[in-house]
Structure 1
Amino acid sequence: MVLLRFAPSPTGPLHLGGLRMALYNYLYAKKFNGKWILRIEDTDTARTVPGSVEGIQKALEWAGLEYDYGPDKGGPHSPYYQSERRDLYHSYANKLIDNGHAYRCFCSPDELADVKTRLARSGSNSTYDRKCLHLTEEEAARKVKAGEKFVVRINNSVTPTRVPTHDLVFGSLRDAHLSLSTDPVLLKSDLFPTYHLSSVVDDHEMGITHVLRGEEWITSLPLHLDLYTHLNLTPPQFAHVPILLNQNRTKMSKRHGDVQVIDYIRRGWEPEAILNWLALAGWGVKYEDSPIEPSSPLSSPSPSSSSSSSSPTRIEDAPDSTHLMSLPEMISSFDLTALTHRSSVLDVNKLEYINKHHLMNVWNAEKGLDTLARRAHGYIKGVYPSSPYTTVENIKQVISLLQGRLTNIQDIPLHAPYLFIDPDLESEEAKGMIEGITLSNDSHEQRVQVLDTLKKLIESNDGWIKFCEGSNESVMESLNEERRKMGMGQRKFMMLLRYALTGMKDGPGVVDIIRVLGQDRVSARLEAAKDVGIKDS
């Protein structure tokens, strides 16, 4: 069975790059009827931030990415916190020491810094002189008994023989042992493992078949494969995914608030739109002859696999970066071989386009309007705490009125504040509207006459019934009839009416706005606009 793991460190809120990696694990597992694990890699105690795990779990829940096993679910491979698995790592470290593939190093940080400086000055590429590799078992045991602190290093003085390295994204990879530091640390002096040891041990012990992780770990892959070889274990298949970049092409970091998932939740983005956006960031280059089925961990690289140094052959059936996809469609179409080999920039403009369409999908679903209104209710109530028009039923009318205009559910106050509070007719926008309506030499008086006429029409039972029950065309004909009696052009007439009701130049049709506002509010606004017009004169 295909089994994957998403293994974040609890060092702060989940960011978009982490959510994308969780999504890819989810998609791959679902596509091949497998499962995936949430594993918390909390061995770096100095960087652990309280509440991070709960934040990660809430972000995954919001996105609809349900893992099969994890800290709050249990499973056959528990515990799922690495801090609770230290005895296991010590056991494997001792195996490596016993078979000569690792050793205890007692050098102090100051000694190591001096050695590194000396080696660099001599022109050596080594970062450590392997001084402690040559300690006898008795010498090492004596130091341990004396309470001297030590780390455990892998003994990479002899590179093990392996089949060529194959990656599910990059294809055949060159051997990169020369990029490794000399005998990297596996177990730290606080007896916590480094990522190198803990990830290899846990991936084996949990039966992980495929490891999807960030491209930054590709340089560590030779070390991890060495560990599998030294421990006589079968490695999983690896897929290293190119990272996401901010729009200024800098690497995403938890230190930047604009990349944290919680910020996108607070801003009201649709979870499926976020997933759609993240899934397609870097997904769109199809490599010719690349297999789509997951490979066996024992299989050797395919002769047709693309090399990381070769030019890809593009096939035009891969989705573009604004292709609208539901989660089931993402599962069906997901293909690791269609990922680009370059880092991808996240474009917020693309998110706005995608979100607008996913918002419409929710609106069109059964009880979708009610769902959106209830989601928007708390936010709108917070924006207009004193307004009596922030009920769910009113918000449903507003969403219907703004259909097609909304990019984000939290854009409602931006597009139509006048539906919750009285318009600000003293704003620069409103003043600009009224200054542009020059009716005649007696423009102020005629303005009052127009508003009075409309007010009487609205307040009459027949007039209001026609507004409520008539078609938009019949209502407009009634308005035009009044306009013609006053000898007024249509553009100025409608602009005056929009000014009085909204104080904003753009928006939905005036007839629709009148229906949502209701008779009393429309009448009051027409009256108020008369006074402002006179005062401005």
Structure 2
Amino acid sequence: MVLLRFAPSPTGPLHLGGLRMALYNHLYARKLGGKWILRIEDTDTTRSVPGSVEGIQKALSWAGLDYDFGPARDGPHGPYFQSERRDLYRSYANKLVDNGQAYRCFCSADELADVKARLARSGSNNTYDKKCLHLSDEEVARKVKAGEKYVVRINDGIVPTRPPTHDIVYGYVRDAHLSLATDPVLLKSDQFPTYHLASVVDDHEMGITHVLRGEEWLPSLPLHLDLYTHLNLTPPQFAHIPILLNPDKTKMSKRHGDVQVVDYMRRGWEPHAILNWLALAGWGAKHEPEQPAPSGTSSSSSRSPSPHRLEDAPDSTHLMTLSEMISGFDLPALTHRSSILDVTKLEYINKHHLMRTWSNPKGLEELAKRVHGLVKDVFKASPYTTVNNIKNAITLLEGRLTNIHDIPIHAPYLFVEPDWTSVEAQSMIRDISVEKRMHIIDAFMTVIQANGWLTFEAASHESIMVTLHQEREKLGVQLKVFMRVLRHALTGMKDGPAIIDIVRALGHERTITRFQAVKDVKDVDDVDVDAESKK
């Protein structure tokens, strides 16, 4: 069975790069008819943060990425916490030691630092002098019996014969053993494994067929393949994913930038829009046919392009459902470069996902209910924060709404009376006399009341505009002045939806009440708009 794994460390909230990695695992597993595991790599106890696992699970659930096996979803591959698999790692480490492919190193941290500095001064690229490799079996046994702490290192001088290093995304990669630390540590002195050993052991023991992970592990791939060969294990297929960058082109991390998934959850972004945005970050490359595997080894890596895409990949703002992502996703179509996450693309994608959702009554109802608590909290004293009124707000704002949480910003006038004394409201009518404003308001009220409210609601937008133009012409007022006065009276805001749509959203009673109330507002001469604007 095709089986993948998403293996985060519990070092804090899940960030966008982690969510994209989980998404790619989900897409590829489902595309191949397989399953995926959530595995918690908690072997570095000094960096573990309480509550991180629950936060990761919550973020994945919010995004709709349902893992098949893992914490709270038992299966045949557990345990799913690496801290509960220590005996397994020790047994594999001992097997490597017994076979002479690894050895115990008793050097202290101070000794190792001195050796590394000495080697650097001599111009060597080595980071360790392999001192403990040359200890006799008797010396090793004596030190172990005496309780001396040790780590287990792989002997990188033994390079096994195996197939060339290949990656699904990057193609064939030249082995780069010399770019790694000398004799990398497999088992630490606290008997916890390093990533090198733990990932190989767990991926084999769990039956992982495809490993998707960050490109920072690409230089370590030859080492990991060596371990598989030493242990006589069949390796999975590897795909190293180019990382995401912050807008300033720095590496995205939990400690840098606004990258935590929980922040996007709190701000009301649509989970499917977030997935759409992340999926397309770096998806869309076209590569030349793959070259034959290079021979030999080198201290630098050389990456041959992956096979040419048979189909055009989507552009960076292409709207996709999760099922469409699954059917269209292809690892060789990923770019070989790191990708910058552009929030303006998220705004575009989120806006159109919202439009898809509210295009049917059930989706509109769900959106209104989801944002109901927020609207009530913003307008605590308002009697108009009902689900139905929020549905009216969503429908009214349509293409203007980028994020569902922006309703209170774009349409406060649907829930509370406008502040006609605000700088923005006063600036709208500063050059229009009170008399002219009252005539315009009376003219609009006449249009509403002429044939009754029901007739007004049923009339087309075009027919109402014809009637309004007739009234405007009787007054001899310019169109922009006429509409500005109405917008001021109804919303107190310069920009917004069409006047007729606002009136219909407010309803007959609230519209008439608002027109009557605005007549009591003081003249704009009482407010120094320019002075207020400079504050």
Range class of TM-score, shorter chain: over 0.9
Determine the structure 2 residue equivalent to 1:390.
Answer: 385
Query: CA–CA distance in 1 between the matches of 2:273 and 2:481?
Result: 40
CA contact (8 A) 2:429 2:524 kept: no
* 1:206-217 alignment, distance < 5 Å: 206-217=206-217
Determine the structure 2 residue equivalent to 1:297.
Answer: none
Determine the structure 1 residue equivalent to 2:25.
Answer: 25
Determine the structure 1 residue equivalent to 2:61.
Answer: 61
3-state SS of 2:402 partner: coil
Correspondence for 1:489 among 471, 478, 494 = 478
Shift of 1:203: 0.2
Give the letter for the 2:19 counterpart.
Answer: L
Give the letter for the 1:100 counterpart.
Answer: G
Q: Aligned pair 1:444/2:444, yes or no?
A: no
Query: CA–CA distance in 2 between the matches of 1:302 and 1:3?
Result: 29
Give the letter for the 2:476 counterpart.
Answer: G
Determine the structure 1 residue equivalent to 2:406.
Answer: 411
Give the letter for the 2:408 counterpart.
Answer: P
Q: Aligned pair 1:508/2:497, yes or no?
A: yes
Query: CA–CA distance in 1 between the matches of 2:525 and 2:412?
Result: 23
* 1:345-364 alignment, distance < 5 Å: 345-364=340-359
* 1:84-163 alignment, distance < 5 Å: 84-163=84-163
Determine the structure 1 residue equivalent to 2:517.
Answer: 528
CA contact (8 A) 2:171 2:305 kept: no
Query: CA–CA distance in 2 between the matches of 1:260 and 1:529?
Result: 45
CA contact (8 A) 2:290 2:304 kept: no
Change (3 A) 1:409 1:118: same
Shift of 1:309: 5.2
Query: CA–CA distance in 1 between the matches of 2:344 and 2:54?
Result: 30
Query: CA–CA distance in 2 between the matches of 1:492 and 1:457?
Result: 17
Q: Aligned pair 1:400/2:389, yes or no?
A: no
Query: CA–CA distance in 2 between the matches of 1:183 and 1:352?
Result: 48
Shift of 1:380: 1.6
3-state SS of 1:528 partner: helix
Determine the structure 2 residue equivalent to 1:260.
Answer: 260
Give the letter for the 2:42 counterpart.
Answer: D
Shift of 1:290: 6.3
3-state SS of 1:488 partner: coil
Measured against aligned partners, the alpha-carbon deviations of 1:249-289 in whole angstroms (never above 9, x if no partner) come to 11000013511111111111111111111111111112244
Determine the structure 1 residue equivalent to 2:313.
Answer: 318
Q: Aligned pair 1:231/2:231, yes or no?
A: yes
Query: CA–CA distance in 2 between the matches of 1:52 and 1:274?
Result: 21
Query: CA–CA distance in 2 between the matches of 1:462 and 1:302?
Result: 83
Deviates more, 1:216-225 or 1:280-289: 280-289
Measured against aligned partners, the alpha-carbon deviations of 1:37-82 in whole angstroms (never above 9, x if no partner) come to 1000000000001111111111111111111111110111110000
Shift of 1:456: 6.4
Query: CA–CA distance in 2 between the matches of 1:262 and 1:53?
Result: 13
Measured against aligned partners, the alpha-carbon deviations of 1:292-339 in whole angstroms (never above 9, x if no partner) come to xxxxxxxx9699xxx725699687712111111111111111111111
Query: CA–CA distance in 2 between the matches of 1:400 and 1:311?
Result: 46
Aligned residues: 521
Query: CA–CA distance in 2 between the matches of 1:259 and 1:492?
Result: 45
Give the letter for the 2:437 counterpart.
Answer: R
Measured against aligned partners, the alpha-carbon deviations of 1:174-213 in whole angstroms (never above 9, x if no partner) come to 1101111111111111111111110000000001111010
CA contact (8 A) 1:211 1:236 kept: yes
3-state SS of 2:10 partner: coil
Change (3 A) 1:412 1:302: farther
Q: Aligned pair 1:244/2:244, yes or no?
A: yes
Measured against aligned partners, the alpha-carbon deviations of 1:311-369 in whole angstroms (never above 9, x if no partner) come to 99687712111111111111111111111111111111111111111111111245111
3-state SS of 2:46 partner: helix
Give the letter for the 1:384 counterpart.
Answer: F
Change (3 A) 1:514 1:200: same
Measured against aligned partners, the alpha-carbon deviations of 1:362-388 in whole angstroms (never above 9, x if no partner) come to 112451110111111122222222222
Give the letter for the 1:419 counterpart.
Answer: L
3-state SS of 2:238 partner: strand
Shift of 1:525: 2.0
Correspondence for 2:464 among 458, 472, 475 = 475
3-state SS of 1:161 partner: coil
Q: Aligned pair 1:173/2:163, yes or no?
A: no
Change (3 A) 1:318 1:446: closer
Query: CA–CA distance in 2 between the matches of 1:168 and 1:275?
Result: 22
Query: CA–CA distance in 2 between the matches of 1:475 and 1:466?
Result: 10
CA contact (8 A) 1:423 1:502 kept: yes
Determine the structure 1 residue equivalent to 2:533.
Answer: none
3-state SS of 1:213 partner: strand
Correspondence for 1:340 among 335, 340, 343 = 335
Give the letter for the 2:385 counterpart.
Answer: T
3-state SS of 1:268 partner: coil
3-state SS of 1:402 partner: helix
Query: CA–CA distance in 1 between the matches of 2:208 and 2:293?
Result: 19
Query: CA–CA distance in 1 between the matches of 2:177 and 2:81?
Result: 30
Change (3 A) 1:282 1:377: same
CA contact (8 A) 1:499 1:505 kept: yes
Query: CA–CA distance in 1 between the matches of 2:94 and 2:153?
Result: 11
3-state SS of 1:153 partner: strand
Measured against aligned partners, the alpha-carbon deviations of 1:222-243 in whole angstroms (never above 9, x if no partner) come to 1111111111111111111110
CA contact (8 A) 2:430 2:525 kept: no
Query: CA–CA distance in 2 between the matches of 1:446 and 1:35?
Result: 70
- Identical aligned pairs, as a percentage? 72
Structure 1 residue runs of 5 or longer lacking an equivalent are: 292-299, 438-442
CA contact (8 A) 1:466 1:475 kept: no
Change (3 A) 1:248 1:288: same
Deviates more, 1:365-374 or 1:104-113: 365-374
3-state SS of 1:359 partner: helix
Query: CA–CA distance in 1 between the matches of 2:49 and 2:206?
Result: 26
3-state SS of 1:445 partner: helix
Query: CA–CA distance in 2 between the matches of 1:302 and 1:125?
Result: 24
Measured against aligned partners, the alpha-carbon deviations of 1:105-124 in whole angstroms (never above 9, x if no partner) come to 11110111011111111111
Determine the structure 1 residue equivalent to 2:46.
Answer: 46
Query: CA–CA distance in 2 between the matches of 1:461 and 1:401?
Result: 25
Query: CA–CA distance in 1 between the matches of 2:158 and 2:312?
Result: 46
Change (3 A) 1:136 1:311: closer
